[in-house]
Amino acid sequence: MEIACVIDCRLTTPERPGHSGGLRPGRATSAETPVDRVEDPVEAAEMTETVARALEGIGAGVETETAGEVFFAVGGLRGLHGGEVAGVTAAARRAVGAEVLIGVAPTRTAARAAAERGEAVVTDDRLDVFLGPLPTAVLVDRLDEPRRAAELVASLERLGIRTLGELRRLTPDQVADRFGPLGLTALRIARGEEEPLRPRVPHEDLVCEIELPEGVAGSQLDRALHLLIDRLLAAPARKGRTLLGVRLGARLCGGGSWSVDQGLGRPTAAASALRRLLVPRLEGLPGPAEALRLRALGFGPAAADQLVMEVGGAEPRRRRLGAAIREVRATQGADALLRVLPVDATSRVPERRHLLTPFPEL
């Protein structure tokens, strides 16, 4: 099986003890071009997600477990992109549109190393020769337990085993006796034996962001979050579906970013429920924010009318009004119905006193 590894050169990967392989932002690429360094883990996750979704756009089933690298199987895409590996990698570069390195090989370890070393394709018959000289430090990125993996690499180096070729000369009994199950996994990787890819289930991107004026805090920040929630729920891409979870994030004024995931317990599209859960989360902001971002993490079934026992016919009226709102939005757009949201009544700037926000679906 041919596996492609796409490395985003803008992102860092955590430095781990004993790890000496791999591309590090700030170093030159294979074309000796400087790369801007990105160290913020939240921004790194967002950028990796952007790359992954771009690759899903060309039909790839992607695996994303580490910031800065994305894997996908090449075989099924050949017929869509000219029948050759080069056509698939060219399509991937066009889709991503960023500074990336791409390598193709039968395993994740070899694919990543090929991308880092500027080798476009490593074939099956060259796999053993290619893996042999790689330092054992590359195992840290491929084993599931980074701390124990770093200890394993350090132990191997103390024993004089510094490359994958030297490691695979050992027998499974020797490795198991000294290093246990983790060592056996490392031995299989050194021999070019890895588990199949685990592609994630593609999901739609629904995200809204709002820029904040300088010095926003307290109730004003709460109002900004209310506006953000209204915009997310009114977005046409939601298609009337409920939400299963959201990610609240912020760009900080002093640099860096912050985010927190919030499960909703049950599918909901109620603005009041989202506000109740997310407003307390704002207390976790580590500093002043210049922008808030809200992303849907999963969609549930379409929102259903929940009947309420009331006297006087208020519930039928609410249902008719809600249907009318949805009909107007469907024909005239998300901004067809707006309401005034008070933000800062004491502000000297008229534009900061009130904002227009999408009218909630009733």
- Compute the C-alpha angle 275/342/325, nearest 5°: 65
What letter represents residue 108's amino acid?
A: R
For 230-285, how does the pLDDT look when each residue is reduced to its tens digit (9 = 90+)? 888 888 888 888 888 899 998 888 778 888 899 888 888 888 889 999 999 988 88
How many other C-beta atoms lie within 10 A of the C-beta of residue 295?
19
| Helix, strand, coil share (%) of the chain residues, nearest 5 | 40, 25, 35
Residue 359: the pLDDT is 67
Q: At 273, list the tokens.
A: 């429920």
Q: At 4, list the tokens.
A: 């492609």
DSSP string, 30-80: TT------B--HHHHHHHHHHHHHHHHTTT--EEEEETTEEEEESGGGGGG
Residue 308: the pLDDT is 46
User: Is residue 172 pLDDT above 50, yes or no?
Assistant: yes
Residues in contact with 355: Cβ distance below 8 Å, sequence separation at least 6, in sequence order: 223, 227, 340, 341, 343
For 175-201, how does the pLDDT look when each residue is reduced to its tens digit (9 = 90+)? 999 999 999 999 999 999 999 998 887
Residues in contact with 178: Cβ distance below 8 Å, sequence separation at least 6, in sequence order: 155
CA torsion 90-96-97-99 (nearest 10°) is -90
What letter represents residue 57's amino acid?
A: G
Q: Which domains can be identified in the chain, with CATH numbers?
A: 3-190 (no CATH), 207-358 (3.30.1490.100)
This prediction has a pTM of 0.62
Are 206 and 238 in contact by the 8 Å Cβ rule? The answer is yes
The b/e string for 110-134 (b: 16+ C-beta within 10 A; e otherwise) is bbbbbbbeebebbeeeebeebbeeb
For 69-98, how does the pLDDT look when each residue is reduced to its tens digit (9 = 90+)? 899 999 888 888 888 898 999 999 889 877
In this predicted model, which residue has the larger pLDDT, 269 or 33? 269
